[in-house]
Every structure is written in C-alpha cells, then in structure tokens.
C-alpha cells in the first residue's frame, strides 16, 4: 500500500465532497473492471478507464487517508514478503471422492437416494471440475481480507497480497443485487488459461528458463510468489464454486449460493446444470468430455454435488471428503512415444523402482520425459523393453505411467531384469513381494538422499531450498551422513558446491536451522516412519502430546487411538525399537531439535443426552438428528425415562403424550435450535 507522504501531513483532511468523489471513482472503476473482466462487455475504452484510474490516484495522492485496502489502486504494490505465513481455514477444505467409472456414479446416486429416503428425490448441481489450484477467499463485511491456499485442508498459506492482483477477484463485493454478508468464506480455483500458459512458457524458454509442466502448476506457482508484483505479471483467473462458510445470509441450496456468488461479482463455473437423474449426470459428463479439447482451460472431470444444503448436512462428510459429492473424472490423457532407456531408482525406503526414460512428448499440454514402471512384476506383465513404442498416460498430478506396448522395437533386447545389487550402494537386493528392496537402510546414499528430501518436504519440516538436487550434492560430497548432519552444514561448505553463492548458501543454512523447533506432527512426518502420513502424524501428536511419550508407547496403547490399527502400531513401535533409528533420532535431539509439544487431545465431548424427534419438523428429521449427534448427543426412536428431551413438531401424538406422562422435557423446534446453539452447534454443519 502507498505509504502516506509525511510532507503532506499538515494538509487539511479530506472534505465530505472529496470523500464522496473518491467513493464514486472507486465504485465506477470497480464497475468497469467487473464489466470488462467478468461480463466481457466493457462500456468504456482502455484509455477512458486509465483516465479514471489516474484521477483516483491523484485524489489519493492528495488525501492518503482515503486509501483503503479495497481501493482499485491497491491491487499491486505491497512489499515483497520473506515467507508466506500459514493460516487456518475458516472451515476445512475437504477433497472430493472421485471415480472414472460410470457404474460407480450410478451407485453413488443410489446411495444418495437411500440416504435421503422416500419422498425426497435428490437434485444435483453439476459443474466442470477445474484443474487449477484450490483457494479460499475470505470477505469481512464485503471486503476481501484474506486468500489462503488449500494446504493440508485445515490450514494453508496466506497469499492475500498475490490474490489481490487477480482482476476477477473483487476487493469489495458488489452489492447492487444483494447486500454483503457479515462474513463470507468462498472456495474456488485459481487457473491459468491454456493460451496464456503457452505464451508464458514460450517466454520462459526464450529466456533460457525451465518451462512449467502444466497450467495448473504454473497457476499454483504464481499464487505462491513472495513478491506480488510477479503474480500480477502472470495472467490468472479465479472461478468460485462453493461457500465454505457464511454469516449473515442463508441459502437453501448450493445453486442459490452460486447465484449469490455471481451477484457479488465473482466468476462462477460455466455451464453448471441442475439435474435429478443418473442418466442426466452421464449425459453431462459426455458433453463435457467432448467439449474438453475445445476449452481454453483444463478440466479433469465433472463434479456432482447434492444441491439441497439440508440434505448435504444430513449425509455429512468423512474426514477426507463429503458423502454428498463425487468427482466423475475423465479418462487420463494418453500419447504414444518411445522408451529410450530403462533406469532404476532407489527411493528413501530402499525400494528400487524401474523408470522409463522416454522420447519427450506432450500429454494433454504437459511435456513428459520419464514414467514410472512401478516394479518388477508390472514390468514383466507389460513386457516393456528399451526401444518399444508405448502408450503413456498422465492423470492430473500423478506421475506419468506406461499403459502398454503399442509396437515392439526391432531387435528387442531381452526382457529387462532388475539388478541383483543396489545401483546406489552395491548391496545385494532382497525381494519383498513384487518389490525389490535395498536392505542397506542406513548406509545407502540413495536412501539418505530420499530421506533428506522427505525431511524438508512441505508437509514435513518445509525447508525451502532442500530439494533433490541439493540433497544429491550434500550426500555425494560427503557433507551429510545422516539427518542430524544437516544441522552442522556451514555456508562455507555449501559455497564450494555448484549452484551456491554466498546468499543462497546462507539462506539454506538459515532455513534448516530455523526448523529446530518444529511442530510435533510435522517432525513425525519428517522422520519417515513407515505408515505414518500427514493424518496419522497429526493424530499421534494430538493424542500423545510429546515425542518422549510416543517413543515409549506400546503397541497396545497405539491401538487405542482411533484410526490406528495393528499394522500401523507395529510399524511405529518397530521404527522406534530399531537401534539405528533410535540413534539417528537421538542425534537430532542432541543437535537441539525440540519438537513443540502439543496439547494432548481435548477431552471427549460430554454426553449431551438422548433426544427423540416426533411430529412434522420444518426440516427433514435426519437433519435435526444429525445436528444433535454432531455435538455428541444421541437420538433414539422411542421415549423412555432415559430420554433427555423430546422435540415435538406439528401433529405429534403418542410420543409426546408419553413424554408428558414420564415428565420428560418437551421442546418445540425453535427451542431445539436454540439448544443446539447453546452447545455451539447449528442445524447445518460448519
Ligand atoms: S466442489 C468439498 N466444485 O477439485 C468439495 N471442487 O479433487 C468442494 N474442484 O480440491 C469442492 N472444480 O479444488 C468443487 N466445480 C468444482 C470444482 C472443484 C475443481 C477441485 C477442488 C478440489 C478438487 C477435488
């Protein structure tokens, strides 16, 4: 934001008339920007717009106190940041369950029908599934206050300054058609149009820089810049498809929410459709599948969502995805190319993976030059050999895969055999099922490289600059012999390596040392304990609170944590029981690494009591019941002395009578909603 000019501090404050002029200029510019960017029907020419903009700048130069965050002059211009900070989402940003299978879509439709019960036919809203970077936008009293990447779904990176530069994101909601709600959290997708992506990549190549792999990667990269001027120089768009949370407005259905989003001046998905049958869902999918190649943006399927919000609440969500929605994906894009060579890679867990080095080919807009061949069995089954022409496919972010041989090469070499020794350390390999593994856990340089990359990965300690190339250098030059060694590396040593100057060397050393007090959950991920991914690590951290407790916990005790079964508990205790792991961990602690203790799990919700619902309620009974159960209450079908209260709707009969006879409390529906709120709940989730 433009800092106020101190030399002008003595000037008179803006008069009422000036304020009014400022407001009108802002509104006028916002309106033209909306007409140009969202509706694509500008009413003024570019020079006319620029003239208005200069007038606004002139007013703000004279009266800096008028400059607010929602002024059109304030889209670009905040100072570059040192790092992006992490912020929690207003509500969890869940994933979507997905399928490519028509039958499964119809089964989903059946499930929904069953869940809603008789008399409530499901109505769906269908939308294209945009292949970009998911983003949360938060508006307080109509003003954009925050934009956050999806991150792990619960918290992401604060990219407000960057998102402010995207012209289709209003800094203030339009209120011509409806007032702005007190607070609003939206979910959408940042995308880069394919044509803009191609131009942008061509420019990178010309400048000798590495091109981006896909429009999605380049959109994601652009929103995560530290300098918002860079984001501003990329052409991005934001399409919004969901209200994550809202205060001060209610909507009966998603379609009503989307209509509101549109009226508030944001872009919503094109060609959304409301349907009520399985056949219409399949038809929609077919239509978009045909239209896909003609679109200037990437879509990877269509999204099917129940429209009715009360019905959604009744169906609920798993920790990962809502039960009321499904992504119906397109088959992955495929191309044919040559296997030039088959190579073997060793990962951090010692697994040897055969990799096809391919003649580079563009698959659905992405240049592909390698593909994983998974394991020995798969290689044998598909009988892939060097010199073969093969069909490869790419699905979203997933590593490209080889589907089949299309044409075997001339003079085929004999079938590829996995090496008998680890290509990185020479240790004889062992076969574990279909996998080939190097057992030299602690001596194999390839495994150490993998562990280092994993240690610094985003979901682990998030160490900027500790990527594959650096890990390779650190290990190959003998600078690091174990994870703890990372904390001993000095800038001078790094400066002797290719690609490091004083600044980058100091930055990496600082980035490593800045992570000496990691959150416990992240630290657990970083250790690379088998079976322990992001969710389990978080659960363990929450449940046990400290590393010491986790280290000394028994298998049986681990199994008392919800979601942790025998296999996982064995993997965890096995990890800590291994002498060498224990030594590596102690070495980290000896270097002053102190995982931050987290509060042990909050006490379980107190039992709120048993409720019985009877009569006709203003919402589906399941909605009321699940609202009570979400808070920790129970619901039963019949009234007894154990019943805490009965919610009686219109026409309540015998159950009401029985409650009165037993002296059980009776609530009308409004009182019930009040009771929900007293306990911090509400009729609808979130
Ligand atoms: S609805 C909880 N609608 O797809 C469900 N998602 O794999 C809310 N996506 O991360 C999401 N287009 O970012 C929805 N029209 C659309 C979408 C969409 C793209 C993304 C979303 C999510 C991913 C799921």
* 455 CA → ligand 1 middle, Å: 29
The one catalytic residue among 129, 329, 449, 655 = 129
> May I ask the CATH architecture of the domain 334-437?
Beta Barrel (2.40)
Expressed in angstroms and rounded, the spacing between residue 95 Cα and the centre of ligand 1 is 7
Please report how the helices 445-455 and 468-476 are oriented relative to each other, as an axis angle in degrees rounded to 10. Answer: 140
Kindly state the tokens that stand for 146. Answer: 């925050």
Q: Which letter does DSSP use for residue 680 in this model?
A: T
pLDDT tens profile 567-608: 889 999 999 999 999 999 999 999 999 999 876 655 444 568
Residue whose Cα lies nearest atom 12 of ligand 1: it is: 129
Q: Which two tokens stand for residue 686?
A: 């979130």
**Span 123-182, pLDDT tens digits:** 999 999 999 999 999 999 999 999 999 998 999 999 999 999 999 999 999 999 999 999
- For atom 18 of ligand 1, the residue with the nearest CA is 129
DSSP letters, 278-339, are HHHHHHHHHHHHHHGGG-SS-EEEEEEEESBHHHHHHH-B-SSSBTTEEEEEPPPEEEEEEE
Ligand 1 neighbour 322 (Cβ under 6 A): yes
Check pocket membership of 303 for ligand 1, CB cut-off 6 A: yes
The atom number, within ligand 1, closest to the CA of 305 reads: 1
The tokens describing 93, both together, are: 């940003």
Q: 416 CB contacts (<8 Å, ≥6 apart)? A: 342, 354, 379, 384, 385, 386
CATH topology classification for 6-67: Helix Hairpins (1.10.287)
- Owner of token pair 């194999």: 444
Give the model's pLDDT for residue 118: 79
98-276+298-327 against 610-678: fold identical: no
Class of domain 610-678: alpha beta
Q: Is the minimum distance from the CB of 130 to ligand 1 under 6 angstroms?
A: yes
Whether ligand 1 lies within 6 angstroms of the CB of 189 is answered as yes
Residue 264 CA to ligand 1 center (angstroms) comes to: 20
Identify the pLDDT of residue 68.
Answer: 82
Among protein residues, the one whose CA lies closest to atom 22 of ligand 1: 95
Torsion of Cα atoms, 47 then 53 then 56 then 60, to 10°: -130
pLDDT at residue 334 in the model = 86
What is residue 157's three-state secondary structure?
Answer: strand
Superfamily of domain 98-276+298-327: DNA ligase/mRNA capping enzyme (3.30.470.30)
Ligand 1 atom nearest 131 alpha carbon: 19
Q: How far is the CA of 364 from the centre of ligand 1 (A)?
A: 20
**Residue 376's pLDDT is what?**
86
Q: Would you kindly state where each structural domain of the chain is located, as residue ranges?
A: 6-67, 98-276+298-327, 334-437, 610-678
- Taking the centre of ligand 1 as the mean of its atom positions, its distance from the CA of residue 243, in whole angstroms, is 12
Select from 303, 305, 320, 324 the residue to mutate for testing ligand 1; criterion: most ligand atoms less than 8 Å from CB.
303
Beta pairing class for 634-635 and 610-614: parallel
Place of tokens 């990691």: 518
| CA dihedral (558, 559, 560, 561) positive or negative | positive
Whole-number Å distance between alpha carbons of 631 and 685: 10
Task: Write down the pLDDT at residue 332.
Answer: 77
Which of 129, 137, 216, 239 most suits a substitution to test ligand 1, by most atoms within 8 Å of the C-beta? 129
Q: Does residue 327 line the site of ligand 1, with CB under 6 A?
A: yes
- How large is the greatest C-alpha to C-alpha distance in the chain, in angstroms? 91
Check pocket membership of 134 for ligand 1, CB cut-off 6 A: yes
Q: Residue 545 and residue 548: Cα distance in Å, rounded? A: 9
pLDDT number for residue 258:
96
The question of whether 641 is a catalytic residue gets the answer: no
Beta strands in 108-267 (DSSP E): 124-130, 133-140, 143-149, 155-157, 183-191, 237-247
Helices (H), 514-596: 520-527, 534-544, 547-551, 555-558, 566-577, 579-590
CB 115 within 8 A of CB 269: no
Mean pLDDT per 10-residue section of the chain, whose length is 686 residues: 48 85 94 91 91 94 86 83 90 93 96 88 95 96 94 92 95 94 97 89 70 84 92 95 95 95 96 94 94 88 96 90 95 90 94 94 82 85 94 67 92 94 96 90 94 91 92 96 96 93 95 95 92 82 92 92 83 93 94 85 62 82 76 83 91 90 92 86 69
Cα–Cα distances (Å) from 299 to 148, 295, 505, 632, in that order, read 22, 9, 40, 40
With residues binned 3-state (H G I as helix, E B as strand, rest as coil), the percentages for the chain, rounded to 5, are 40, 20, 40
> Which residue CA neighbors atom 7 of ligand 1 most closely?
96
The ligand 1 atom at the shortest distance from the C-alpha of residue 98 is 7
What is the model's pTM? 0.59
């Amino acid at each position: 934001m433009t800092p106020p000019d101190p030399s002008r501090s003595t000037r008179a404050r803006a008069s009422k008339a000036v304020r009014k002029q400022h407001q009108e200029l802002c509104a006028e510019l916002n309106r033209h920007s909306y007409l140009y960017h969202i509706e694509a029907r500008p009413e003024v020419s570019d020079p006319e717009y620029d003239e208005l903009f200069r007038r606004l700048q002139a007013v703000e130069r004279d009266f800096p106190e008028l400059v607010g965050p929602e002024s059109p002059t304030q889209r670009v211009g905040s100072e570059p940041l040192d790092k992006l900070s992490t912020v929690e989402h207003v509500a969890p940003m869940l994933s979507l369950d997905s399928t490519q299978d028509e039958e499964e879509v119809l089964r989903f439709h059946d499930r929904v029908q069953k869940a809603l019960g008789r008399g409530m036919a499901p109505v769906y809203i269908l939308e294209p599934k945009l292949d970009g970077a998911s983003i949360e936008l938060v508006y307080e009293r109509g003003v954009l206050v925050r934009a956050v990447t999806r991150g792990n779904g619960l918290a992401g990176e604060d990219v407000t300054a960057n998102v402010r530069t995207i012209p289709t994101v209003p800094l203030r909601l339009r209120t011509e058609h409806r007032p702005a709600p007190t607070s609003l959290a939206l979910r959408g997708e940042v995308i880069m149009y394919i044509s803009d992506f191609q131009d942008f990549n061509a420019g990178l190549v010309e400048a000798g820089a590495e091109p981006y792999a896909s429009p999605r990667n380049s959109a994601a990269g652009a929103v995560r810049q530290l300098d918002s001027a860079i984001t501003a120089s990329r052409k991005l768009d934001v399409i919004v498809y969901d209200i994550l949370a809202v205060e001060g407005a209610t909507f009966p259905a998603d379609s009503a929410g989307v209509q509101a989003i549109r009226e508030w001046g944001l872009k919503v998905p094109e060609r959304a459709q409301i349907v009520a049958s399985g056949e219409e869902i399949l038809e929609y999918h077919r239509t978009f599948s045909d239209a896909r190649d003609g679109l200037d943006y990437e879509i990877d399927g269509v999204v099917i969502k129940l429209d009715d919000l009360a019905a959604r609440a009744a169906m609920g969500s798993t920790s990962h995805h809502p039960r009321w929605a499904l992504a119906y994906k397109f088959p992955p894009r495929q191309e044919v190319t040559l296997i030039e060579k088959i190579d073997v890679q060793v990962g951090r867990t010692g697994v040897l993976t055969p990799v096809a080095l391919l003649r580079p080919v563009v698959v659905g807009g992405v240049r592909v030059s390698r593909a994983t061949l998974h394991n020995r069995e798969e290689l044998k089954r598909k009988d892939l050999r060097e010199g073969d022409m093969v069909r490869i496919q790419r699905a979203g972010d997933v590593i490209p895969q080889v589907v089949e041989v299309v044409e075997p090469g001339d003079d085929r070499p004999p079938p590829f055999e996995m090496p008998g020794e680890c290509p990185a350390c020479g240790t004889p390999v062992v076969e574990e099922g279909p996998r080939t593994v190097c057992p030299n856990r602690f001596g194999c340089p390839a495994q150490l490289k993998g562990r280092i990359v994993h240690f610094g990965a985003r979901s682990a300690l998030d160490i900027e600059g500790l990527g594959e190339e650096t890990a390779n250098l650190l290990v190959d030059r003998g600078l690091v012999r174990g994870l703890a060694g990372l904390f001993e590396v000095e800038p001078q040593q790094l400066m002797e390596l290719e690609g490091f100057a004083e600044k980058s060397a100091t930055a990496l050393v600082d980035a490593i040392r800045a992570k000496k007090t990691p959150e416990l959950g992240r630290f657990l991920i970083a250790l690379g304990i088998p079976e322990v991914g992001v969710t389990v690590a978080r659960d363990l951290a929450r449940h046990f609170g400290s590393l010491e407790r986790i280290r000394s916990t028994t298998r049986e005790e681990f199994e008392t944590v919800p979601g942790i079964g025998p296999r996982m508990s064995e993997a965890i205790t096995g990890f800590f029981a291994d002498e060498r792991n224990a030594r590596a961990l102690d070495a980290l602690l000896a270097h002053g690494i102190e995982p931050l203790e987290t509060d042990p799990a909050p006490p379980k919700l107190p039992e709120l009591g048993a409720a019985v619902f009877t009569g006709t309620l203003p919402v589906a009974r399941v909605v009321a019941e699940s609202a009570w159960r979400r808070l920790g209450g129970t619901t039963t079908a019949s009234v007894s002395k154990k019943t805490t209260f009965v919610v009686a709707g219109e026409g309540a009969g015998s159950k009401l009578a029985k409650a009165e006879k037993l002296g059980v409390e009776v609530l009308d529906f409004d009182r019930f909603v009040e009771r929900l709120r007293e306990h911090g709940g509400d009729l609808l989730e979130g």
